[in-house]
Structures are given as C-alpha cells and as structure tokens.
A and B are shown apart, each in its own frame.
Chain A
Amino acid sequence: MSDAVKVLIIDDETQIRRFLRIALEAQGFSLSEAANGRDGLVQAAMHRPDVVILDLGLPDGNGLDILRRLREWSNVPVIVLSVRNAEQDKIALLDAGADDYLTKPFSAGELIARIRTALRHTAPAEPDGLFRNGPLEVNLAARKVTVGGKSVKLTVTEYDLLRLFVQNAGKVLTHRQILKTVWGESSGDEMQYLRVYISQLRRKIESDPANPQLLVTETGVGYRMQVTEKQQG
C-alpha cells in the first residue's frame, strides 16, 4: 500500500477521465476509474479510495442513488461534478452526504484544491484549537475571535455560525445543513434568519462586507468559508 492519495473517478466520459488522470497523476495522486455507478461502487469497495469524484450524469441511474448506496458503508469524501442550473440536485447530494461539488467546466487547479479540502476534513482537529484564515483568527477553545488582531464581539448565534464554518473551512454548506446545526430541526425553512445572521457576521469579520472574501455565497446552494492561501494546516 503506497502513501499516495487514492482517488476514484466515476464518470462515463472517457475524455474527462483521461484529463483528470493526467492532471491528478502529475500531482502525485493514485487514480482508479469507473465508467458507471455500479462499477464505481465495486471499485470503491475494492480500492478503498481516499476521495471519490462522482459525476452527476451517469448512464445507470442518478448520482444521488449511487451516493446513498456508497454512504451505507463508507464515509469517504465525495466530490460531485455537475453542470450549472442543477442547484436542486446539488443541494440534494450535499444533504445526502456529498462533501463538495464542482460545476463543469472546471480547472484541474480547482479540483485539486477541493480534494485537499475534502481530505483535510477527515484529518483530526488541530490540537491547539486555533484557526487562522487571512485576517481571521478563531480560538475555538477560548471562544475568542479576532480580525486583523482586533478582538470582535459576536452574539451566541453568530459565534455558533462562525464555528460551523470554521469546522468546515473550505467546504460548501447547504442552507439546510447550517440551519439544522445552528438552530436545530424545527427551523427548517426559516431561511431569512440565516440571511440576516450571515449579513451580520460578515459586517463583523469581513474587511469589506459588501465584497466578502471569507464567507462566500454559493448561489442557490449555500455558503462556503473560503480558505486563503496563507492558511496553514
């Protein structure tokens, strides 16, 4: 068993698979491929990949079914490839346990960044409980937040919200996932609260709230804590 990160690509397009193989192998990933969902599940069981890249438009059934079957026995990070205008599908997949998504066309750089993020999720939390991202610094142990060295006061809910993004840094979170974690099951459709809190949070942590760099919107899907290059970990 080599140390290389194992990636499984499930996509029916040979050209996409070839493109990803060239790009990812150049980065030192070890690749396996499947051209349909059934084969993909077999490969996933056989090779135990570290990351799965799943195309939404497979010939044998929709990606959601394949994801659900995979999730029955595996927690491997799954990145979904989809097309624009398929927001509802994306949400369904993310809510069903996909870790992230990429809209076609995408660059190899974007994909590799997403793979790294997905892999980081599975790594254990940092021992010092300190999170740094650009000007933002969050001390999870002490519940202290500073921006550019200046301490910021957050309400309880704002802090819970920020902590959720910090714990999932770099990863997209759907509206429902956020609502469920911060407000609990009952507030399933209370989307407007979320908008209000996000807007308040941005005013406190973004240097230019109208042009956010940390908490970015994924239209129709949710929000993402964008991880800047300097971030360590």
Chain B
Amino acid sequence: MTRDRIRRKNKGTDRSDPDVLLDAIRSDEDGRSRGRLKIFFGMCAGVGKTYAMLQEARMLLAEGKDVAAGIVETHGRPETGALLEGLERLPLKAVSYRGRTFSEFDLDGALRRRPAVVLVDELAHANVPGSRHIKRYQDVEELLDHGIDVYTTLNVQHLESRSLTVEEITGVPVHETVPDSVLDRAADIELVDIAPSELLKRFSDGKIYAPESAAAALRNFFRRGNVTALREMALRATAQQVNRHLTRYKAGRKIGETWKSGERLLVAVGPSPFSTQLIAWTRRMAATMNAEWMALNVETQVRLTVQQAAQLTANLHLARELGAEVAVVRAEDTVEGIVQTALANNITQIVVGKTEEGRLRTWLKGGSLVERLVRYSGNIDIYVVRGDVIPQTTRPPRRLPRLTSGRQFGVALGAIAAVVASLFAAGSLLNYLSVAMFLLFAVTLLSLWLTMGPVLFAAALSALAWNFFFIPPRYTFHIARFEDVLVFSLYFIIAIVTGTLTSRIRINKEAVRQREARAAALYAMSRALTSADSTDAIAAIAVREIDRIFDADAAVFLNAAGLPVLHHASGFSPGAKEESVVRWVAENRKPAGRFTDTLPLSDARWMPLATGRDIYGVAGVRFRRTTVFTLDKETLLENLAGQIASALERERFNGERRRADTADASERLFKTLLNSISHEFRTPLAVISGITASLTDPGLRLGGAARDALMSEVNDAANRLNGLVENLLNMSRLESGNVRPAVEWCDVSDLFQSLKRRLQREAAGRPVAFEMAPGIPIVRIDSALTEVAVGNLVQNALRYTPPETPVRVRAAVSGSDLVITVRDEGPGLPADILPHLFKKFYRAPGSAAGGTGLGLSISRGLVEAMGGRLTAANASRGGALFTVRLPAERRSVGPEESNE
C-alpha cells in the first residue's frame, strides 16, 4: 500500500484530555480577547427566539451596556417590533445582485461602530453573492474575532449535522446551514422552547407568518409530528452542548476525573453525494459518544471525473468543518486502505455506507466491501449506514461529460480497425493464430494510452474481429472447431486481463508520478528557500514556484508596518477589490478569495503567510485556467504558504540578529574609541584652548610674530581635529555597511589634482610625486572614495617616513584594473606588523605620538567596498609599497573630434 497521507487536526471537537484543557484555556483567553457568542436556539421558526434575544438586549441596555441591533428580522410581528423601539439599529447595507437590491447586515459598519454587543438575527442566513462572506455566521465569527459580543438566533434544522435528518422528517429541503462547530464555540446557548400545541396555535393564528405567505410547504412543515421531532432534536442538541460545557468546566477546575470515551470513529468518505449523510451521521454519533472521529478517503486506481473530484473535496471539507480529522491514503483496495488506517489510528468503530456493488466484482474480490471489511477489521466495530436516494431538489445528479472518453473510444475503434485491415491485407502470409498475437499486441499497446473502458472495448472488438475475419469459417461469428472455441475464449480473457493490467499499472504510475512531482515541488521550493538570503529573494522564489507548481499567476504581499504591500516580484498586480481581500486575509490570518467561503467572487485565492508566531504577508494564486481546487492542491498550497512564511520568519530573525550584531560591533568600536582616542581629541583641544587663553591674557602681551605663530598652531590643531572626525565618520560608515560606491567615469589626473589639494597641508614641504603611466584611460570608479582611500595611504607614508624622503603615487592599468601604488623610501614594514597593519586602531609599536590607527583600516575598508583590493609589501628598492587595485571599465583618451 502506498501510504502518503494528508491529515490535519481540527480543534473543534477533540475531546481527549489535553485538548479539553486547551479548549478551556482557549475559551478562558477568548473571554478576554474574543467576543462572547450567545445563541438563542429553537426548534423552528416562531418559538420566540428573536423576541427572547430582544428582551435580553433591552435588559443589557438598561444596565448601561452599549448594545446595537445589527440586523433583526421581525417578520412583521408587532410584539417583536415593539421590543426594537429604543434600541440603536445599525444601518443595513444595500447589496445589489442580478439587478435586485438586498438589505444585508453591514459587517464593516458594525466593526467601525464597535458596540459591546451586536444583535445579529438568523445565524444561518446565506449572504447575497458579492458579500465578503458566503454565510452570515462567518460575519459573526469576524465580529467575535474583533472582540465584539454577539447575540444571535438559530433553529435546529440549520445545524449542519441535523439538516439532513430534518429534511427527512419534514420533506422540506434545508439550504441554509451552519457548521456545528459554531454551536460548540458559543459561550452561552439559550434554548427557547414552547409546547408544540402552543406553536401550532400561533401558526394557525398567523402570528408566525402573515396568513398570505403561510404556503402549503409551510403548512406541511408545521405538523404536530414534525414539530415534536424537531423539538426533541433541539432539546438533544442543547443537552449535548450543556454536557460539553460541563466537561470543559470540570477540566478547568480539575473537578473529579475528566472522562473520555476512548472511542475513535472513522468514516469512509468517497466521491458520492451520499457521503455527506454518512459524515453527518458519524458526527452525531461521535458527539453522543463523546469520541474523536476521522474522515478517510482511500484513493484507488479509479480515476475521478472533475465533478466527482469536486464532490469529494466538498465532502472532505464538510468533514473538516464538522470537526473531523481528515486523512487521504492511497491503496490498491479500499478495504485495505480503511483497515490499515483504522489500525494505525486506534480506531474502534468504522462507519461505511451501504452501497450497490456489481455481482462479478463482489465475487472476484471475495465478498462485498462490507463483508470484507467485517472479515479483515478484527475487533473493530463496523457500522453500515443506509444510503439514501438523494433528492433532486438538493443535489441534482451530475452527468459525466463523455467528451474525452468518447475520443478514446474512437481511438480504440480506429486502431483496432487499422490493425485488422492490415492483417487482413497480409492475407495468407499469416496464420489466423499468429493474427491473434498481433491483435493482442495492439490491445496491450492501446492500454498504455487509454483508460480502462476504451481498453476493454478494444479487447472485445479485437476478439470479435478476429473471430469474424480470421477464424475459420471466415466472415461468420461461428467457430467450427472446438479447439478454436477454446483459443478464442482464451484470447478474450488474455486480452482483457493484459489490457486491464497494463492500464492499471499506467494509472498507478501516473499517480505515483504526480505524487512524486508534488513532493519534488515542495522539496525544490524548500531548498530554494533555504538558500534565499533576503525577503526579496524569498518573494521571488515564492512567485516562481507557485507559478511553476500550479501553473498560475502568483502575487506576494509582504507586511510592512502592519500593512500588506505588493512585492515587485509578483506575477500580477491585483486591483483595488483584490487588495481589500488581501487586507482582510492579513488582518484575520485566514485564507480568502476563490474556492473559499470568504469573498469567493475574487479572481485569486489568497493565503496568509503566517506562522504560529506572526503573519508576514499574503500570497495569492490566480489560476490561468478554470480548475477544480482539490483538497490535494489546497494542502499543497497550504504547505507552500507555510514554508514561505517560515522562510520569511527566519529572515526576520536573521535581520534582527544582524542588527544586534551590528549594534554589538558598534558598541565594541565605541568602547575602543573611548579608550584609545580620547587623548587624540584632547591634545589638539588643549592646544587650541591653551593658545586662545594666552592670546586673550593681557598679562602675557603677546603680539606680532608670536601671535601669528600661535594662530598657525591653532589652525593646525583644528585641522587635526577635523581629520580625526572625518576618519571616525568614515569608519562608522564602513562599520554600518553604509558605503555605497557611486561609480562614474573619471579622469585619473582629476583624481590626482584633488588629492594634491587634499594633501596640501600634510605634505607641506615634503616631496610628493604623482605619476601616471602613459595612455592611462578614463576609468569608471568612485572618485571620492578612491581619493579618501589613497589620501590616507599617502598621509600614512608621510607620517612614518623621514621628513626629506619622497612619496610617490603612481597610477597604471593592469588588465581591467586600475592600479594605484603609494611608495615611500622609509624604513619599510617590519615582517611582524604586516598581518596587523590593516586592523582597526592598530598602531605599530614605537610609533610617534599622534594618529589613531584608523587610516589604513579605512583605506582597506573603502577599497573593498568598491570591490577592489589593498595590499602592503616592502618595495624591492626599500621602503613600503601599498597597492590599490580597483576594478574599472576603461575608455582610452584620444581626440574624438577633429580640429576645425
């Protein structure tokens, strides 16, 4: 059995110990952050739910609470209308759909107004298409998420798990349903109950519906039998919730032993609409038994049509909605898949539907699905639930399109006809038994391309053709010899068996290939993401991979200052409408858009890029072709989104660490700075303040030449301070990685000119020679940075060499590099200081006073920032030699324009 499963947990109905505790904690927390939901629950319309809700609202109002009516349906009942007097009513939103205008609850208005409690009548109401959510209960969820308490009303027939039963009892289809989990999450449930006789009286008095609208269907609905049954269901559902609350309460308070049934249910889900009934049944069962349950789909070789795949996805969605753990496994045989999964998950009870199976198939497999399940499942209980004929009104039967299959049958027919014709043409060259071999070969070949049906058709067709055209007597279906009858039968069986087997192997392989492709896609993406070193790279990978895997346009929004901002790598730019969906997703951290229940009319499907910790952005997938969004794809998309989010999170942490590292480094720099160079500042400051004080001291009577000499000292000291500050600024720019070379075309002689001016003061009286190799071109470098880097080298040379010795600066070209050398004729560089020469604050032992040990390290930093290299060595003729090598595009200088 190929086991490859997709499963997820739903927090809704788990009842094991830790989960109950967690639930309790969660609702405790919810009590603070999430709004409280109170449901006024009744058996059917007319029991007075809205009335009860309004009464309670008035009480809250009297207590001074901020209550507002979001939407309240009075159905024209005057008593109810009277209660609405004096309550603040939020304006309704007009939504037009297909030329008609509907009044809907205004979710955004309510969120803006933010009352403490909002009344939202009729929880099960389906919103007009084009609203944000499909169902009103989702609006309510959002209100709760924003910390607003909600009072609402609900009838038992609208509970997802009860709706089909109600339909059976009353014969009236129920279209508007809410998942049971909504009821589970309610903080309070108030049962609004009246005696059936009273209800029926109210109905016949026209108090429930205005007499003219009390149509026949409604009259059927309001029958004593129905009403009593509904009442029982409402009471039971309420009792179950009360029980749940009690369990939760006990768990929280550690009162007694928290009880767990230990039962685990598994329901087998297929691509049939009947499965929804099975799921609802199992959910009820699980709820009464207080048990966990899972929904399992076993993928076999049978290929699903688009409609079946959609139905299967819907079924699994429903199961998840109702609180099941959903798993999909792949197996040769359904029974094998079910049993293996059941054993692996300690399932105690399996629920399957009673289905019609072909007799031959049953006989071949050694019993019907149920029989074999019973045989192989050991001590697991099996429930077989009756499958109903699905009423046309709720789920119209879907006809499978036969287009591709039709084409396949055509191919089968054509191929066999062609082979038969050519064999026929070969005539007496071939024995009729050899002909069989050729036909068999053709069938086997066909099975490599076609699906099962057409292959069987080809097998049968070839057998008949063989019989008719080749087996003597020819041109009849009659077979003369008994031996030939045997051979014909054998041929028939062999053709069918080979065809089926090959076809099955192919389908299997196809499925394996698809799964491998999916796994490979995930792997490729995770590998790409691991190597991504920036959010930009992650966004680009996300867009590329989603595009590749889903054959769809992808867009990525990254959260910046709490708002999602479209990343430039995106494959499409969504319009204003889509952006509002994105904002919703970012705010609520839930998927929305196409194939979801939230804003399903959007063009794209939007996924939050969230981890357990935070949300980092939103990714969107816009399919190029219409497709069915299967559970497989959804899971894959969720996985991708999860991986992208983790990568973004990792990148954020990396960024924080980098910032922390930088902060650390600058703190170290700062400390060293304080220690090693504070005296560097003090010396010139002492000179300046000493001299200026002396100059203003009337007692000293300084004048004339002395005064000028002192002023020049002040000037020198100030310049030294300025140089020091500049060095520190350059160093801090380098440290923070803020040096961005601005490369421009530059004439090296210009560079030397500014260098000369820069060094004028330091080089006073010293011979500094600037030389340029002949034909030096115009180069593309950052001249300002180069000037600082080379200037520091020259200053360094001037400082550490005897006063009369020259310093030579020379520019030359080597390959595509500009090479600038600074050579002095001093004592050269001792071997032991060479390794430390470019370190920050390093000063050679025995250096004269003055200097911070920053100059050379700045030079190297700048040169490296420009992508070049700075090296130091001793020149062959003595003295130190510093070499700057900068990558530079070149352009030769020459007359480009002839003289007039």
B753 close to A211 (CB less than 8 A): yes
Contact segment of A21-29, A164-172, A190-198? A190-198
Name the contact of A192 in the complex, choosing from B778, B782, B895, B900 (C-beta under 8 A).
Answer: B778
Q: What's the nearest-Cβ distance from chain A to residue B858, in Å?
A: 12
Name the contact of B784 in the complex, choosing from A87, A191, A196, A216 (C-beta under 8 A).
Answer: A87
Q: What's the nearest-Cβ distance from chain B to residue A107, in Å?
A: 9
Within 8 A of A (CB), among B767-793: 770, 772, 778, 780, 782-784, 787-788
| Interface: B746 (CB within 8 A) | yes
Q: Scoring B residues 706 to 748 as 1 if CB is less than 8 Å from chain A, else 0, what string do you get?
A: 0000000000001100100010011001000000001011110
- Bin the interface of chain A by size: 20 to 34
| Interface: A141 (CB within 8 A) | no
| Interface: B212 (CB within 8 A) | no
B729 close to A210 (CB less than 8 A): no
With a cutoff of 8 Å between Cβ atoms, the chain A residues found around residue B168 in the complex are none
| Interface: B588 (CB within 8 A) | no
| Interface: A2 (CB within 8 A) | no
| Interface: B832 (CB within 8 A) | no
Q: In whole angstroms, how far apart are the Cα atoms of A105 and B733 in the complex?
A: 20
Name the contact of B900 in the complex, choosing from A156, A191, A194 (C-beta under 8 A).
Answer: A156
B726 close to A84 (CB less than 8 A): yes
Q: In whole angstroms, how far apart are the Cα atoms of A194 and B750 in the complex?
A: 12
With a cutoff of 8 Å between Cβ atoms, the chain B residues found around residue A157 in the complex are 897
A194 close to B745 (CB less than 8 A): yes
Q: In whole angstroms, how far apart are the Cα atoms of A112 and B792 in the complex?
A: 30
| Interface: B891 (CB within 8 A) | yes
With a cutoff of 8 Å between Cβ atoms, the chain A residues found around residue B894 in the complex are 196
Name the contact of A155 in the complex, choosing from B733, B891, B893, B897 (C-beta under 8 A).
Answer: B897
**Interface hub of A153, A193, A220 (most chain B Cβ within 10 A):** A220
| Interface: B751 (CB within 8 A) | yes
Q: What's the nearest-Cβ distance from chain A to residue B779, in Å?
A: 9
Within 8 A of B (CB), among A68-113: 84-85, 87-88, 105
With a cutoff of 8 Å between Cβ atoms, the chain A residues found around residue B756 in the complex are 211
| Interface: B749 (CB within 8 A) | yes
With a cutoff of 8 Å between Cβ atoms, the chain B residues found around residue A158 in the complex are 897
With a cutoff of 8 Å between Cβ atoms, the chain A residues found around residue B788 in the complex are 85
Q: In whole angstroms, how far apart are the Cα atoms of A211 and B754 in the complex?
A: 10
- B897's nearest neighbour on chain A, judged by CB, is A155
Q: In whole angstroms, how far apart are the Cα atoms of A84 and B757 in the complex?
A: 14
Q: What's the nearest-Cβ distance from chain B to residue A165, in Å?
A: 15
Q: In whole angstroms, how far apart are the Cα atoms of A220 and B749 in the complex?
A: 14
Name the contact of B753 in the complex, choosing from A87, A175, A217 (C-beta under 8 A).
Answer: A217
A220 close to B718 (CB less than 8 A): no
With a cutoff of 8 Å between Cβ atoms, the chain A residues found around residue B404 in the complex are none
Q: What's the nearest-Cβ distance from chain B to residue A72, in Å?
A: 29
A198 close to B783 (CB less than 8 A): no
A200 close to B753 (CB less than 8 A): no
- B721's nearest neighbour on chain A, judged by CB, is A105
Q: In whole angstroms, how far apart are the Cα atoms of A47 and B894 in the complex?
A: 52
Q: What's the nearest-Cβ distance from chain B to residue A208, in Å?
A: 11
**Interface hub of A85, A157, A212, A219 (most chain B Cβ within 10 A):** A219
Given contacts A192-B891, A198-B747, contact A219 B783 (CB under 8 A): yes
| Interface: B428 (CB within 8 A) | no
A217 close to B898 (CB less than 8 A): no
A88 close to B742 (CB less than 8 A): yes
| Interface: B899 (CB within 8 A) | yes
Q: Scoring A residues 199 to 219 as 1 if CB is less than 8 Å from chain B, else 0, what string do you get?
A: 110000000011110001111
Name the contact of B778 in the complex, choosing from A156, A195, A211, A219 (C-beta under 8 A).
Answer: A195
Q: In whole angstroms, how far apart are the Cα atoms of A217 and B782 in the complex?
A: 14
Name the contact of A196 in the complex, choosing from B730, B770, B778, B900 (C-beta under 8 A).
Answer: B778
| Interface: B896 (CB within 8 A) | yes
Q: What's the nearest-Cβ distance from chain B to residue A218, in Å?
A: 8
B893 close to A85 (CB less than 8 A): no
Q: In whole angstroms, how far apart are the Cα atoms of A141 and B744 in the complex?
A: 35
- A216's nearest neighbour on chain B, judged by CB, is B753
B745 close to A153 (CB less than 8 A): no
- B730's nearest neighbour on chain A, judged by CB, is A85
With a cutoff of 8 Å between Cβ atoms, the chain B residues found around residue A195 in the complex are 745-747, 750, 778, 893
Q: What's the nearest-Cβ distance from chain A to residue B891, in Å?
A: 5
Name the contact of A219 in the complex, choosing from B730, B749, B751 (C-beta under 8 A).
Answer: B751
| Interface: A35 (CB within 8 A) | no
Q: In whole angstroms, how far apart are the Cα atoms of A87 and B733 in the complex?
A: 15
| Interface: A58 (CB within 8 A) | no
Q: In whole angstroms, how far apart are the Cα atoms of A210 and B755 in the complex?
A: 13
With a cutoff of 8 Å between Cβ atoms, the chain B residues found around residue A198 in the complex are 747, 750
Given contacts A87-B784, A217-B754, A219-B784, contact A196 B746 (CB under 8 A): no
Given contacts A211-B753, A216-B753, A220-B784, contact A155 B898 (CB under 8 A): yes
A154 close to B778 (CB less than 8 A): no
- B743's nearest neighbour on chain A, judged by CB, is A191
Given contacts A105-B722, A192-B745, contact A220 B900 (CB under 8 A): no
**Beyond known contacts A87-B742, A192-B780, A210-B749: 9 more, CB 8 A cutoff:** A156-B900, A175-B744, A191-B744, A193-B896, A195-B750, A217-B750, A219-B750, A219-B754, A220-B782
Which 10 A/B pairs are nearest by Cβ-Cβ distance? Answer: A220-B784, A217-B750, A191-B745, A192-B745, A219-B754, A195-B778, A195-B747, A155-B897, A192-B891, A195-B745
- Residues of chain A touching chain B, judged by Cβ–Cβ distance below 8 Å, are 84-85, 87-88, 105, 153-158, 175, 191-196, 198-200, 209-212, 216-220
Show 18 A/B contacts (Cβ-Cβ < 8 Å), sorted by A: A85-B788, A153-B899, A155-B897, A156-B897, A156-B900, A192-B891, A195-B747, A195-B750, A196-B894, A199-B749, A210-B772, A211-B756, A216-B753, A217-B747, A217-B750, A217-B751, A219-B783, A220-B782
